[in-house]
C-alpha cells in the first residue's frame, strides 16, 4: 500500500518529465488558488532540483520569467524562460540582484526545507527560520497584490508565523496537497494580494 500512496507521484513525475514529485504539490496549489498568470515574473527559492520551476515556467508562458534560486547545483533547464541563480537565500546580495535586474516580482515561491535531523522540534524551528527569510524577501520584492507560497512544518511556531503573513496579505490559506506524503508534517501557506506598507 505504501508503494501506491508514496511513490505514485514520484513515478508520475518521472513519466511527465518533471524533476520531482513536488511538482504535483504546486500544481494542486495552482488549481485551488490560481496564483499564476501569463507573463509574470516568479521567484522560486530553494528551487533544486527544479520541479516547481518547471510548473511555474509553463504557467507564466514564454514571455514570463522564472528565477530558480538555490545554493545547491541545479542542472540546466530546456525551458528558455527559467534562469538559474546559484545563491544562498540568505545571501545579502540576493535582494539587490533581483531588484536591479528584474524589478518587482509577481509570485514568490519557497519550497525550502532544512536537512532533516530527526529532532522534530529542531527541524520545525529551522523550517520557520527559512520561512521567515522567504517572507522578508516577499515583502521587499513582491508587487502590490503579489502572491506568496511557502512550505512550513506543523508545530508550535506555525500560528505565530501565520499571523505574520496575515499582516502582509489580504487573504491567507493553509493547504496540505494530496501529493504530500501522508506521514509528512509539511503544510503550505498561501498569501494572496500583498499589501504594500509605506
Q: Are strands 41-45 and 105-110 parallel, antiparallel or unpaired?
A: parallel
Percent pLDDT > 70 in the chain is: 90
Give the cell for residue 106. Answer: 509577481
17-68 residue pLDDT tens: 677 888 889 999 999 999 999 999 999 999 999 999 999 999 999 999 999 9
Tell me the whole-structure pTM to 2 decimals: 0.91
Residues 6+ apart with CB under 8 A from 16: 23
The pLDDT, as a whole number, for residue 58 is 95
Give the cell for residue 5. Answer: 500512496
Question: Which residues participate in catalysis according to the annotation?
Answer: 151
Percent pLDDT > 90 in the chain is: 77
Residues 6+ apart with CB under 8 A from 161: 128, 131, 132, 135, 152, 189
CB atoms within 10 A of CB 192: 17
Domain boundaries, the chain: 2-194
Contact 51, 27 (CB under 8 A): no
The pLDDT, as a whole number, for residue 1 is 35
The pLDDT, as a whole number, for residue 118 is 83
Q: What is the mean pLDDT of residues 88-115?
A: 95
Phi/psi at 93 (nearest 5 deg)?
A: -80, -15
What's the residue count for the chain?
198
The pLDDT, as a whole number, for residue 36 is 98
Examine the pLDDT at 104 and tell me if it is beyond 90: yes
61-87 residue pLDDT tens: 999 999 999 999 999 999 999 999 999
Examine the pLDDT at 151 and tell me if it is beyond 80: yes
The pLDDT, as a whole number, for residue 6 is 55
Identify the CATH number of the domain defined by range 2-194: 3.40.50.150
The pLDDT, as a whole number, for residue 192 is 97
Residues 6+ apart with CB under 8 A from 185: 120, 124, 153, 154, 155
Higher pLDDT, 18 or 100: 100
Amino acid at each position: 500500500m505504501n508503494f501506491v500512496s508514496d511513490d505514485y507521484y514520484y513515478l508520475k513525475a518521472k513519466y511527465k518529465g518533471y524533476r520531482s514529485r513536488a511538482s504535483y504539490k504546486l500544481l494542486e496549489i495552482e488549481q485551488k488558488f490560481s496564483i499564476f498568470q501569463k507573463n509574470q515574473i516568479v521567484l522560486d527559492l530553494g528551487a533544486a532540483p527544479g520541479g516547481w520551476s518547471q510548473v511555474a515556467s509553463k504557467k507564466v508562458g514564454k514571455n514570463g520569467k522564472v528565477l530558480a534560486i538555490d545554493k545547491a547545483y541545479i542542472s540546466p533547464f530546456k525551458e528558455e524562460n527559467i534562469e538559474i541563480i546559484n545563491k544562498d537565500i540568505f545571501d545579502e546580495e540576493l535582494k539587490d540582484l533581483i531588484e536591479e535586474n528584474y524589478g518587482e516580482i509577481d509570485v514568490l515561491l519557497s519550497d525550502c526545507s532544512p536537512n532533516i535531523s530527526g529532532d522534530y522540534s529542531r527541524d520545525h524551528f529551522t523550517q520557520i527560520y527559512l520561512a521567515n527569510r522567504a517572507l522578508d524577501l516577499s515583502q521587499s520584492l513582491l508587487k502590490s497584490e503579489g502572491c506568496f507560497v511557502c512550505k512550513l512544518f506543523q508545530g508550535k511556531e506555525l500560528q505565530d508565523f501565520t499571523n505574520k503573513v496575515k499582516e502582509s496579505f489580504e487573504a491567507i490559506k493553509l493547504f496540505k496537497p494530496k501529493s504530500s506524503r501522508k506521514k509528512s508534517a509539511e503544510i503550505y501557506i498561501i498569501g494572496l494580494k500583498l499589501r504594500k506598507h509605506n
